[in-house]
Structure 1
Amino acid sequence: MTPRALIFDFDGVLVDLEPLHMKAWQEVLKPIDLTFSDKDYEERYLGLNDRDFLALRFKEAGKKLSQTLCNELIQKKEHKTTKFFSKEIPLIDGVQDFLKKVSQKYPLAIVTGGLSNEVYFVLDHLKWRPLFKIIITSGDVQKGKPDPEGFLKAYEKLKNLCEWNPPLQKSECLIFEDSQYGMEAAKRAGIPFVQVRGSLRGFDY
């Protein structure tokens, strides 16, 4: 079925910031002996929002994570990522041409586990914010991926965006994801999805 609306994950689908997020977390957690390898991040943590990542990392280490410490660590990490992003924002291959084309045909949404400050900083820097009708970040949901809340919220907002005739169905949306947690969330939301593997050049919509 031809889609009528497109929903994108952010990091790993539009921009390639995961290596910078990973580096920031490694630097923040090293002083408290909770660092991890690149392989660990890719296999276990990729796609989690910051709070869920910290909860899992502390649980694995058998350490207690208070709300105060969680907030403090996220603030430190956000400070580092903002510095990294101000120097470079790596893009997914083919993303500029792809967004230019599809933004003229479909309403676009973003559903990401990223912090709103980080996401909007990048979108504004790239001048992409006007392309997206709906942006859902970690602060807009109670549960991050693999919970489907973010995708379901985006669908409801897309459905109410205009007078669809006939009404927009879940099956008429298409999600672009890269992580196992994101694809699991898409499945649980009941919305079709495709996996992005480092490039958008092979997709034609």
Structure 2
Amino acid sequence: MLELPQAILFDFDGVLADTEPLHWRCWNEALSPLGIAISWEDYRAHCIGISDREFLEKLGRLANPPHEVDELLPFYPLKKKLFQGESSRGGIVLEETWRCVNAVQNLPLAVVTSSAKQEIEPILQNAKLLRFMATVVYGDEVANLKPHPEPYLTAMKRLGVSSALVLEDSVAGIASAKAAGCEVMEIKDPREVAGRLRERLESLVHFR
């Protein structure tokens, strides 16, 4: 019989929020002066769940001709500005996801993301999700990003739990959560989150 998890930990991009297409568009726009563009298929296959520097290293290798990461890093502030402007318009957190998180708020909840606090915290606040989270582990708060287990171990330590249910969409994130000893629910589309959580917790949590 399934037991109620000690805590639920959410990845952000691609799980709580449908931000990956937005990141992809903003990167392509920011790097357009260099004539660099990455297809959505390559972005999904190689660039989800990693740090911005790792992304630029991979993109530099994929570009034709190749570019060094130091050539691409100066375009990061523009990408960040574009992303903040687009994400501030709202609508990237699904209403059904919000209701589902609201329904499980009596459990310890956390967001564990590789993105920086400055980038993600305003979205969590605007979407009224931050109020539900006992803690948020941002990418600029840990020494080792996913797939290292540190982000999820940090979240569990802050929550005072020894295990958790993790919702993740990326290969790196899934590896991180498994290495931390967590139960992992793989999410392929943010629209799956509410339904998958209900399936896992229906007999244990009252969903309105």
**Residue of structure 1 in register with 2:69 after alignment:** 65
1:138 corresponds to which letter in structure 2?
G
1:31-180 pair list within 5 angstroms:
31-61=33-63, 62-66=66-70, 70=73, 72-92=74-94, 94-103=96-105, 105-159=106-160, 168-170=161-163, 173-180=164-171
CA contact (8 A) 1:12 1:92 kept: no
Q: Report deviation, 1:82.
A: 1.0
CA-atom RMSD in angstroms: 1.8
Task: From 162, 172, 183, give the equivalent of 1:192.
Answer: 183
**Residue of structure 2 in register with 1:201 after alignment:** 195
CA contact (8 A) 2:30 2:75 kept: yes
CA contact (8 A) 2:167 2:185 kept: yes
Q: Report deviation, 1:197.
A: 3.0
CA contact (8 A) 1:141 1:149 kept: yes
State the TM-score, normalized to the length of structure 1: 0.86
Task: From 8, 11, 23, give the equivalent of 2:10.
Answer: 8
Q: In structure 1, how many angstroms separate the alpha carbons of the residues matched to 2:94 and 2:185?
A: 15
CA contact (8 A) 1:111 1:135 kept: yes
Listed as ranges, the gaps of 5+ residues in structure 1 are 160-167
Give the SS at the match of 1:153: helix
State the TM-score, normalized to the length of structure 2: 0.85
Q: Greater CA deviation, 25-34 or 11-20? A: 25-34
CA contact (8 A) 1:177 1:194 kept: yes
Q: In structure 2, how many angstroms separate the alpha carbons of the residues matched to 1:111 and 1:202?
A: 19
Give CA-to-partner distance per residue, 1:116-151, whole Å, 9 cap, x none: 122111011112212101111111122222222211
Q: Report deviation, 1:2.
A: 2.5
Q: Greater CA deviation, 54-63 or 131-140? A: 54-63
Q: In structure 2, how many angstroms separate the alpha carbons of the residues matched to 1:64 and 1:114?
A: 22
Listed as ranges, the gaps of 5+ residues in structure 2 are 202-208
CA contact (8 A) 2:98 2:129 kept: no
Q: Greater CA deviation, 187-196 or 17-26? A: 187-196
Q: In structure 1, how many angstroms separate the alpha carbons of the residues matched to 2:29 and 2:20?
A: 14
CA contact (8 A) 1:146 1:183 kept: yes
Q: In structure 2, how many angstroms separate the alpha carbons of the residues matched to 1:27 and 1:38?
A: 13
Q: Relative to structure 1, is the Cα distance of residues 141 and 59 closer, same or farther in structure 2, using a 3 angstrom cutoff?
A: farther
CA contact (8 A) 2:53 2:69 kept: no
Q: Greater CA deviation, 25-34 or 116-125? A: 25-34
CA contact (8 A) 2:108 2:133 kept: yes
Q: In structure 2, how many angstroms separate the alpha carbons of the residues matched to 1:8 and 1:65?
A: 30
Q: In structure 1, how many angstroms separate the alpha carbons of the residues matched to 2:95 and 2:124?
A: 17
- How many residues are treated as equivalent by the alignment? 192
